[in-house]
Amino acid sequence: MSTPAAKAKKNPEFILDSDVSDFEVLDEIRENASKERSAKVNINSLMDRVREEKKKEKKENLIFLGLIASVVLITGAIASF
């Protein structure tokens, strides 16, 4: 009785849906949720992250504005000749 399903059960690389019970999955979800709830949040680190993102956005906006201004100046210089 060497069926592919029997081989798959013996091989640890393959996990069939019937091998894992729904209760094991629910237990894992509950454990992960309890770990996430117990973690403390540092407001200073969150504020630092927001400040860094704003700085990055400002930098990107300045680069974009500089590119647009240079294109306008180059186009004007070419058109004037």
- Each of the 81 residues of the chain gets a pLDDT tens digit; together they read 455 555 545 555 555 555 555 667 777 777 777 666 666 888 999 999 999 999 999 999 999 999 999 999 999 999 998
Tell whether 11 is covered by a domain: no
Written as one string, the DSSP assignment of 9-72 is HHSTT---GGGS-HHHHHHHHHHHHHHHHHS---HHHHHHHHHHHHHHHHHHHHHHHHHHHHHH
Count of the separate structural domains present in the chain: 1
pTM equals 0.46
pLDDT at 1: 46
The boundaries of the domain holding residue 35 are: 20-80
Tell whether 9 is covered by a domain: no
